[in-house]
Amino acid sequence: MNALVTVVFAVVFFGCILLSIALHEIGHMLPAKRFGVRVPQYFVGFGPTMWSTVRGETEYGVKGIPLGGFVRLLGMYPPGQKRTGEGNRLTRFADGARAYEWEEITPDDVANERLLYQKKTWQKLIVMAGGPMMNVLIAFVLFWAILGLHGSYQAQPTVAQIQQCIVRENQPAGTPCFMPDTPAAASGIRPGDTVVEFNGVPINDYAQLQALIRANLDGEARLVVERAGQRVALAPVHTVISGVQDNLDPSKRIAAGWFGITPTTVLVKGGPFETVQQMWTMTTQSVVAIIQFPVKVYNVVADLVQGKPRDIYGPLSIVGASRAAGEVVANDTITVTDKLVLFGSLLASVNLFLALFNFVPLPPLDGGHIAGALWESARRGWAKLFRRPDPGHFDTAQLLPVAYAVMGFLILSGGALIVADIVSPMQLF
């Protein structure tokens, strides 16, 4: 039964991702149409067309490979500059792609400025950023709904448990503790105490306390706690240096100060401001993950070849994310409410990651087109400032080799992750 539930909700999650991709493309299409750009096609998926219909001047449809989508905006490539001779190989390659697009462009399209390259810079930026910003909006709505209706579990500076013994590197799991030796045990702190001061610094929340302890390394720690309504100064101790998870890269362990308490957690609801704070934290972590993406993919492939278990902090394909969502719903140890929260949080996280990934300033990603529009505006502004001739439109067709290289990498990476997610799926429970 659990296997069936996993499959059903994996398919549901997969459908939600496809809907997110469809909305991403709508985020491009709507402002493009608003600014007068001709949009010949809007499709969900790639490959052979399964269904389509024409409304106005746009063909809408679904293709057979449900791993993405696209919207065609006419006039992505400006006309080539006049020159003598055939030019180099790169120029000929760009001209070939330009000629293919311009077969569909009519004189009326040019005269009525219905081509993307003819639009003002701010219009181009809105059109190209509209897709990823749609994913940001989806993530925001989902996170806000979860935070506002259910809340999130947040650590508090109140002690839930005292860790008695320091867990040292390479120490076998389950090693018995005969003599308490943690700084927390030596300080006399008790469960139920609330830390109100650390080395003279007033404590407002657990995140602040954690940061101070980590930065303290093996220095002296003087804590003041609130116990039964009274402020109590604990015995001075020294924190110890231990390997802890990096806040920006949870897969990485760094040397930091360690005290030895487990905080209490409470369910806290929030509004738009708290949602933005949460998304900002996730954004910084996602940027680190994107920078490390090629290395992480290589590690996934290496682990697969060597038969090692998947790193739970490694990347997932859309197949792996869907499977993970299905396993969350099928897990009997989680309440129905928590299942919905985890399902929605995973969908929101995927949307946020897709948005940030699309902002990478490389073609054919949206960020590459944004970078091209900004570069065109900058060099035209520079020429105007120094009263030089207008350099004209930036020829984005010249970047096609980069676009193909990036696309090839993404296809290979996506294929490798899909294989890994099928052969050696990530174990969440």
pLDDT tens, residue by residue, 160-190 = 999 888 766 555 555 666 677 899 999 999 9
259 with 345, same domain: the answer is no
Which CATH number goes with the domain that contains 157? 2.30.42.10
Mean pLDDT calculated for residue range 229-238: 94
Report the alpha-carbon distance of residue 101 to residue 226 in Å, rounded.
Answer: 71
288 with 365, same domain: the answer is yes
Structure tokens at 333: 């140890």
67: in domain? no
Mean pLDDT calculated for residue range 288-309: 90
Q: H or E stretch including 325?
A: helix 318-330
Q: Which domain holds residue 292?
A: 1-19+131-151+271-429
339: CB partners within 8 A, 6+ apart: 328, 329, 331
- Alpha-carbon distances, residue 402 vs 100, 143, 301, 397 (angstroms): 19, 35, 24, 10
Long-range contacts of 228-233 (CB under 8 A, 24+ apart): 231/196, 232/193
309 with 421, same domain: the answer is yes
- Alpha-carbon distances, residue 20 vs 8, 39, 131, 312, 358 (angstroms): 19, 20, 10, 24, 13
User: Alpha-carbon dihedral of residues 392, 398, 399, 402, nearest 10 degrees?
Assistant: -160
315 with 233, same domain: the answer is no
375 with 239, same domain: the answer is no
Annotated active-site residue 25? The verdict is yes
**pLDDT tens by residue, 354-394:** 999 999 999 999 999 999 999 999 999 999 888 898 888 88
Query: In this structure, how many other beta carbons lie within 10 angstroms of the beta carbon of residue 313?
Result: 14
pLDDT at 407 over 70: yes
pLDDT at 46 over 80: yes
Point out the domain boundary residue: 228, 244, 268.
268
329 with 196, same domain: the answer is no
248 with 356, same domain: the answer is no
pLDDT at 72 over 60: yes
240 with 283, same domain: the answer is no
306 with 222, same domain: the answer is no
409: in domain? yes
158: in domain? yes
288 with 364, same domain: the answer is yes
Amino acid identity of residue 358, one-letter, is N
Q: Which of 25, 274, 327, 376 is catalytic?
A: 25
94-98, 190-194, 355-359, 413-417: segment of lowest average pLDDT:
94-98
72: in domain? no
pLDDT at 130 over 90: yes
Percent of the chain past pLDDT 70, that is, above it, reads 94
Q: Across all residues in the chain, what is the average pLDDT? A: 89
pTM for the structure as a whole: 0.88
Q: Note whether 314 and 296 are within 8 A (CB).
A: yes
Provide the pLDDT for residue 169: 57
Point out the domain boundary residue: 203, 237, 268.
268
109: in domain? no
80: in domain? no
33: in domain? no
The three-class DSSP label of residue 370 is: helix
95: in domain? no
Point out the domain boundary residue: 253, 268, 283.
268
Structure tokens at 252: 């990485």
Report the alpha-carbon distance of residue 324 to residue 321 in Å, rounded.
Answer: 5
Mean pLDDT calculated for residue range 135-159: 95
401 with 391, same domain: the answer is yes
197 with 298, same domain: the answer is no
How many domains does the chain contain in total? 2
